[in-house]
Structure formats: C-alpha cells, structure tokens
Structure 1
C-alpha cells in the first residue's frame, strides 16, 4: 500500500482554563489526547462519537485552526505542525474544510463570486476573466447555475448554501476535504443530494475525505473506514463493514444500537443499549479505561490500567481490556459476550 496522504500521530489539543482572581487554577482540559490515524488518497474516513468527544477539535487541530499541544500531522509527507504562517497558508491549499453551518461560514455581505474567489486569489492568482470562468465551472460542478455568482448567501436554501461552501473548498484543487458535520443541519432529502455530490466529486477529481458526523447511517454509506472517538481518544477503528457488523468495543456497540433499522420486526427484536450517566469531565479524566464509568462489562483492571490498541478480527484495532483479560475476546465482536439479563440478541 502507498504512503498515507494524511498521517496524524499522537495528536493532542489542550485548553488552559482562564484563571480567575483569588481562585485556584483549574485543571487543563485535554480535548484531544493522543489521536492517531492515517488517510490514504481517494478514501473516506468517518470519525464518529458523542457530542463533546473531540471530533471537531481533532479536525481543527489537523488544520491548525486550533494549535495542537503535541503530536505530528504530516500531509503528503510534509509536517504541518511548526510551519510558519506563510508556509502553512500555502500548505492549506491541499487540505480544506467544510463546516456544519454554511450560512455562518459565508460572509453575508459578499457576493458568491467573491466568497468562492477568495481561495482562487490566495492560491491560484488567475486573471480576472479566467477567475470568473473558474467560478462558473465550480458552481456548475456543485449543481448550481453560473449566474448564482451574482447573488448573496441569503438568497439560497440551506442545501444550496452548503453546495456553495463545497465549491469554495474545492476552488484551489485540494487533495483532502475535512467535512465537519457538513450534512447534519440539512433535511434528509437535501442530505442525500449533498452526499451524492461528494461521491461524484470523489470519483471525478479524486478527493479524499475526513468525514465527521454523528449520523451513523450516513457514515456507513459514505465511509471506507470508521474511527470511533470517546473522551478525546480513538477507541476503535477499522473497515466500515467490520465496525458496523461486528463492533469490538462496548462503546461502539452502544452507539450502533441507537441506529434505527427501517424494518419494524427487526427493530423490535434489537436491544437498545442505554449508557448510564454522562461522559466524564475532560479536565478530570478517570484512571484506567476512560469508558469504565459507563461500561456494563467493566472489570477491576479497567479501573486502573489504560487499555492499549490490539488487532480486531477482520480489520483495524480496538482499545479494550475485554480482548486481553477477563473473557479474552481476542479481537472478536463484543456482541458474542453473554450478559446477565440479556433477553434479545442484536440483529
């Protein structure tokens, strides 16, 4: 296999709290704590997890929209952390981001041609006629008419505005798009249209995606591989089919149990796993496995020792003591475990 296009190693993002007068300094918040993954050209990696687990902060750390406190981010073999501002701006031509709310990421006082033209001016510096022609081509590529360039963002629907932000993101011919909940604010039919657009762009111009979402049905449809985050760390990753059909981590199993199945008989027979409590405070991470405070399988070792990534059967890795201690799953699906009081076997 060829070298990864994007290689993230031990990425850490820590936020130091403000210190109020006459109060003891609060503990730093470890939003991203040792995240590693690789992304190869032409593939889509889905990054999933509960709200607050660190998905968006990971994306912003990769692009240095927030400054990482440690780790390595290599884009096409080039280290991004530590680059001077001018060098970083040039490197960002190859990796662009699409945000959740398209309206807030477009300047309402600027015509569409100016918003889409900004990355062209920064990275390509085309003559005016070529610039206008390229903007028209970009609009057509995302399914909008060329005359849309003379309108303002408020004149478009939510789905159309997201198409505008995608057109702007691909204006300088990037290699990677980071999509941070890019379809979550859209209705279902518009979601499908935008996802189809992303698939068309990947096939036509070879785009590579880091796709961040909480809708697991969308992630399963578009992703080649999936990484599952919990409290700032990746607890499981692997090929999409393996992760969805044979989850190896109890947290992944719980997330998947919440995905509805469009078949009433199957849905009624599935077990819904409700996690107890809320995720711990990232400023006060529990010892041992971070998930043990909510895990129904928690053992003594989970409360004291941090689990290491071990191979999962089929593909990928999982960080869970169940695979090395106790029942010793050795990479098998956590669904194979027998549990007291279990009345239904998940489909």
Structure 2
C-alpha cells in the first residue's frame, strides 16, 4: 500500500554558537537521517527523551524550519522543493497542533476569527457560510457554537486545545501532526482530547503523527511507534510489539519508567536508570549513539554504526545486539540478563543465539 506521508533521510541542522576557541563551529544536527512512513487512517507515535529531535522532526517535515536535506512526500508530492505559494496550498492537507494552545491562539482575536483563518486562506466562503462552518467545527470538537464570540483567555486549557484542533481540521486536512498536544493538560482533560481525536479519526478518516513523551498515552492511541534517540530513530514497529517485546535497550529503559496500575506488579518491576545524560548533540559519539549509556555495550558499539535489522512481528531496530555478541536477531532485549549497575557487561560468544 502506498504511504500517505513518506519521510526519507530527513536532516535538520542548526548553526552552533560561536566561541573564542572555535570560530566556525560545526552545525548541530538535531534530526539526522530520520525516515518513516504514515499510511491513511493510522496513528504513528513518535517518542523519546526531551531534546531527542521529535518536535524538530515535525517542524522540519512541515517546513516551519527548513531541512538541510532529505525528502518529504505527501501523497507522492515532494514538499521540500515547493515554492511558497504551492507549499501553502499543500499545507491544506497537513496541519499541526502545538503543545501550548494559548500561545497558538491570538489573544486579541475572537475564536470565530481564529478558527476561520484556514477557511480564509484555502476556501472562499461568504460571511454566512463562514459562520456556519465555524459553528459546525466547534460542535464537532464538543464546544457550543456561541463560544465563537469569546476570546482565548475565557477558556480552560482543554477547551483551548479543542479550539486549536477545530482550527486545524477547518480546511479538511488528511494528516494532523500533534506535537505534545495533550502534555500540558491534566489527566481527565487528556482523556477527553484523546477521545476526541479517536472520534475524528473514525468520523473523517484523519491520519495522525502523534508526538509525546507519555508512553501510556502513546500506547493507547498509536497503531505504530517510532523511538528516537539523539536525532535518529533507533526502533520502530507495531505498538503492541514495541511495548511488549522491545528490541532496543533504550526502548526497554523508557518502558521501565511507565507505571503499571497494579500495585503488586509495580512493586515487582525493576526500574532501569540509564547512566549519565544524553551526549551533546554538537559532539555526537562515534559508533552507536547510545553506547555511552547502554548497559549491554560492546567494543563494537563504540566504533561501528549499527545498521537496521528486521524484527519479527514487523518493524526494525538499529542495535549491534541483533547482529553481534548475543545475536538477538530481532528478539526482545528482555531475553538478556541485564548486567548489575556499574558492572561491565559480559561478552557472549559471537555465535551465541538467544531464542525469542
């Protein structure tokens, strides 16, 4: 099946700050060769630590920041080569919802005018049609039409996020990019907004790129999940497989931090605390980018970049554990005995196999 959105080798760089010692510092690659596909009607969750490049990936494919290289094809049409006017037209099919709804809305504009902005850009409606369309959009996101005559400061955070979603779907896009769209909301409001997103997906066939750090929310809403670390995707696959049988040590560590709503099970679980902080993105370590924090690190990890390996149950993982050492060959990293904290991981024979 042809993907609706296809991102290939996306690179987004930023100029580093000048210093006395380095007059021309190398640019920082916030996104370094990211590739993924998004099919009609599905939700892809993009997860990772703060600063890993999730939001920059979204802004790069939307061209809110200009990528250095790569390809972004929307329904077969290359977006990175489009001049300003055709790009504005193409953006009707892909809209974005940001984390903070209050900063996304002009505080001096009525809700009616904020929601109608995409209609004014992409559609030609008279005053009556415009008002009817705004009223319909507010009803669709669960707000009374009379709210259109209010200002953003008169609403709660959840209501404001519903307004930004109404504005995002005004021009009937095919894809919504949701950048931490529920992270600033309380739990009950999160549930309401997620239920709204699911209803919109079922009703009008919306496709989502869902960026978040709350893995429990990602598991609930996503069909597939991609895990980012230091500007690259290290693992991707169906959500059930990634959560139940993670193939990358970084994914395993992220999932260990997700609380389980069962006290007895939660007490038996062991939290994996990674050593140190993520490396400076302006000085990316050689080899595997995760080797400075990985409990299973091998000598090969420090020098050679791991290539993607197919995972049973669909998806890929970029980790030497699947080709060298234990030779997991796509099996879950949970099948390994994790080294004790501070201990050097034992080296398995090169031909050893770990069964799935």
Matches for 1:219-230 after TM superposition, within 5 Å:
219-230=218-229
State the match for 2:288 in structure 1.
289
Residue 27 of structure 1, CA deviation: 2.2
CA displacement, residues 31-58 of structure 1 (integer Å, 9 cap, x when unaligned): 0000000000000000000000000000
Matches for 1:136-155 after TM superposition, within 5 Å:
136-155=135-154
Question: What is the rounded CA distance, in whole Å, between the counterparts of 1:254 and 1:106 in structure 2?
Answer: 37
Q: How many residues matched?
A: 341
Counterpart contact for 2:295–2:339, Cα < 8 Å: no
State the match for 2:34 in structure 1.
35
State the match for 2:321 in structure 1.
322
Instruction: From the superposition, tell whether residues 308 and 162 of structure 1 become closer, same or farther in structure 2 (CA, over 3 Å).
Output: same
CA displacement, residues 185-226 of structure 1 (integer Å, 9 cap, x when unaligned): 000000000000000000000000000000000000000000
State the match for 1:274 in structure 2.
273
Counterpart contact for 1:74–1:80, Cα < 8 Å: yes
Aligned: 1:186 with 2:181: no
Residue 18 of structure 1, CA deviation: 4.3
CA displacement, residues 56-115 of structure 1 (integer Å, 9 cap, x when unaligned): 000000000000000000001000002100010000000000000000000000000110
Question: What is the rounded CA distance, in whole Å, between the counterparts of 2:272 and 2:177 in structure 1?
Answer: 30
Residue 164 of structure 1, CA deviation: 0.1
Question: What is the rounded CA distance, in whole Å, between the counterparts of 1:302 and 1:312 in structure 2?
Answer: 19
CA displacement, residues 147-203 of structure 1 (integer Å, 9 cap, x when unaligned): 011000000000000000000000000000000000000000000000000000000
State the match for 1:105 in structure 2.
104
State the match for 2:118 in structure 1.
119
Instruction: From the superposition, tell whether residues 21 and 307 of structure 1 become closer, same or farther in structure 2 (CA, over 3 Å).
Output: closer
Aligned-partner SS, 2:50: coil
Counterpart contact for 2:321–2:328, Cα < 8 Å: yes
State the match for 1:345 in structure 2.
none
Aligned-partner SS, 1:103: helix
Structure 1 segments unaligned to the other structure (5+ residues): 343-347
> TM-score, normalised to structure 2's length?
0.94
Question: What is the rounded CA distance, in whole Å, between the counterparts of 1:339 and 1:130 in structure 2?
Answer: 63
Matches for 1:67-216 after TM superposition, within 5 Å:
67-216=66-215
Counterpart contact for 1:183–1:194, Cα < 8 Å: yes
Aligned-partner SS, 2:306: coil
Aligned-partner SS, 1:8: strand
Question: What is the rounded CA distance, in whole Å, between the counterparts of 1:93 and 1:142 in structure 2?
Answer: 19
State the match for 2:24 in structure 1.
25
User: Following TM superposition, where does structure 1 have runs of at least 4 consecutive aligned residues deviating by more than 3 angstroms?
Assistant: 18-23
Aligned-partner SS, 2:183: coil
> TM-score, normalised to structure 1's length?
0.97
Question: What is the rounded CA distance, in whole Å, between the counterparts of 1:232 and 1:125 in structure 2?
Answer: 41
Aligned: 1:45 with 2:39: no
Residue 19 of structure 1, CA deviation: 3.4
